Structure formats: structure tokens, C-alpha cells
Structure 1
């Protein structure tokens, strides 16, 4: 274990995060579920701080989140969550059942690979420049709806109180920020997705999820512009 050389105490985890980033939101939930204390290091994406030389030394691709654990630096939400799962076994994020474990991986990947990348700032900026500002919201809603349709079908035979049963697992960690952002940021009508809407309500009751919410982060602005 890496320690503070002067005090002999373990170094606190550091999370480079942006309050509205759903990828950062996932990691905050995982850290909270596992009861891990961490230092929040804000990176303002709208101001371009992710492209600063200082941050690029942490994550050369210029995305949040990034996690520093002593001498270990990880920069990818899926990799970070799996690292936390293996190093800190408290509150396992994967079930023992092999099928349920696979469903968790699949649901998390639908969010992280097939939905979220199509709504990040770089993509929305490109759509705005090449097509027009009015094209951004329909673009996002189309691709979220496609992913949510798949998730409804995937989880219908596995869901309990949460995505794959009555315990919170990896799928929930990835689903909660995506559903929240889809409703709050992209004004998605959830009528066609009753299972995901029900899960959203369940997530909002959990302290680990509540504490990870964008509005509860230190870099949450006092006034919101409401822009995509």
C-alpha cells in the first residue's frame, strides 16, 4: 500500500471529475458504494481544462474521469470501476452467478460503448458545427432511445428491485447516470421505457447514488444555463 511518507498514512484516492460527466458519475457511485473516501479534483470541460498540459499528463486522451491511487493512474470509467472492484471487495459490484454477471457486463457496455460516446461534448460540438445546433437534441435522443430499447429487452427477465435482481450491481452503476442525464439534460420521454423509469426511481432513493448526483458535487455551478 502506498503511504504518506511523513505520516505513514495511506494516500487518499484522487478523482478527476466533472459534475455533469456521466462517466465520472459512475465512478462516484462505485466509490460511494464501496465506502471509499476520495479527493475531488474538478476538471471544467466547458472551459477546456481537460486539454490543459497538467491534465493531459494524467490522461493523455483528455477525458474524465481519472483516478489516482498512489502511484497508479487509471483513466477510463470501466477500467476504474473494475479496478475498484478487485482492490476493494466491500460491496461487490458483480454477482457470483455467471449469467447475471454477463448481463451486468452487457448492460454496462451498452451504456458505455453504444450510448454515452454518441452524446459527449466532442460529438455534440461536431454535430453543431457540421449540421447545426438544432440537430444536437434529436441526434442524442435517437441514440439514447435505441440503447434504452435494447436495455429494456435485455433486463426484462432479470430485473428485480434493481437491474439484475434485488442487489445493486455493475449494471446499476452505469444505468443510473445515463437515465438521469437522459431525463434531466436531454429531456427524453421515458414513457416507452417503463422498466428503466422504475429503476431510476429506485436509484434516487439510495444514499450512494444521491451523494454522487451532479448537483451534490463541489464544482456544480450556482446557476444553470440549461444548454445541451
Structure 2
């Protein structure tokens, strides 16, 4: 397997967590988003949308993090990232999709760059945009975690696709200076998960293309 990704991409981070939790080995292929390598024709041949990550496994090529995680569950079932038990499954997928569909798309790098380069938004306004949507999204996730009676993981007694999505989103929020103190369940899960070996191995600072 090859994973084309960028150390600081939260979508890439999600997949790296799933791969680490499953103990799967893969070739790490860096795509420097800051240098615009995702727009190169060679990479576009793999990812028509010019996004990361891209997983290549034999004849299989996938470019969406949740689709990649679902694929990994199909070919390497244990440990499962999407639980089989219906009550856990629906909660894990709900949380994951809230992050992947409601928070991340309007706060990723290409959106933030468009705000500044095309719309002329200043740095302070861009930061305010990011913080607003993170606050809105994480508040919703915090409520979902309460409904799911979360403990040290989003749902159940082991990490799931929900944790794969939550940890990178919180890491990005903290990097951007957002305050998550009032989200007590989110903070508890983040502190627990980021101390675990698989999450440490998947973290941005552990990657070969890390830029401090």
C-alpha cells in the first residue's frame, strides 16, 4: 500500500490513525500542499480533485478519507473502525460525518487560501472564520458525545472512525489557537487518545515530511 499524504493534513491524519490502529505497513509518499504539489499533473492523475490523502493498494485507488477507512475495514477487518453493533455504528458514523462534512470542508487549506487570495479577507477575519465554524461544529459534537455516553473514546470502549476524525480536527483547532476548554468530553478523549502509541505514530510531528 501507498499513502499519498501531507503531514499536516487532517484528512491524511485520519487515515494514518486507522492504519496505525490496524498495524498496517504502507509506503509514505509526501505531497507538499504548501508548495502546491497536489495540483501537479502527475498527482492529478491519481487524485482528479487534487486532494490528499490518496491510498493506492494494488488496483484500488481511493481519495476520500472516510472511503479509505471503510475500505481498510473491508480488507483488514480487525480492529474495526466502523463498529458492527448498530448502536455504536450509527453514533460513530454520525460523529465522523459531522466533522468530515460540517467542520472540515469550510476550514481546510484551500478554502482559507481562497478567502485571502481571492476574496481579500484579512488575517484576523480569516482566523475568526476558522474559530467560528470550529466552535459551532465542536459544540454539536460535544452534544453527540453526551448522547453516546462517551468515555475515553467517542463511542464504546475502543477507538473508531469517530476518534480518527475527532483527534485531527482538535489538533488543527489547537494549532489555530482555538479554545476547547469548555468541551470537556472532547478534551478528555483528545488527551487520552494522543497519549496512545498508534495516535502518536500518526501525529503530524511523527511524519517524515514534518516541518516544524
Do Structure 1 and Structure 2 share a fold, with TM-score over 0.5?
yes
Counterpart residue number, 2:206: 216
Counterpart residue number, 1:176: 167
State how many pairs are aligned: 209
CA offset digits 1:83-106 (Å, max 9, x no partner): 001110121112232122101111
Match of 1:152 among 124, 135, 142: 142
1:1-228 aligned within 5 A: 13-129=1-117, 130=119, 131-158=121-148, 159-183=150-174, 185-221=175-211, 224=212
1-side partners of 2:81 and 2:16: how far apart?
13
CA contact (8 A) 1:17 1:43 kept: yes
CA contact (8 A) 2:100 2:165 kept: yes
Give the alignment's TM-score, normalised by structure 1.
0.89
CA offset digits 1:110-131 (Å, max 9, x no partner): 1111001111111101211312
Partner of 1:188, secondary structure, is coil
1-side partners of 2:54 and 2:113: how far apart?
22
Q: Which portions of structure 1, spanning 4 or more consecutive aligned residues, are displaced by more than 6 angstroms?
A: none
CA contact (8 A) 1:19 1:217 kept: yes
1-side partners of 2:147 and 2:156: how far apart?
10
1-side partners of 2:131 and 2:84: how far apart?
35
Give the alignment's TM-score, normalised by structure 2.
0.96
Q: In the TM superposition, what is the alpha-carbon distance from 1:157 to its structure 2 partner?
A: 3.1
Partner of 2:188, secondary structure, is helix
Larger RCO (alpha carbons 8 Å, 6+ apart): 2
CA contact (8 A) 2:151 2:185 kept: no
Partner of 2:78, secondary structure, is coil
CA contact (8 A) 1:128 1:134 kept: no
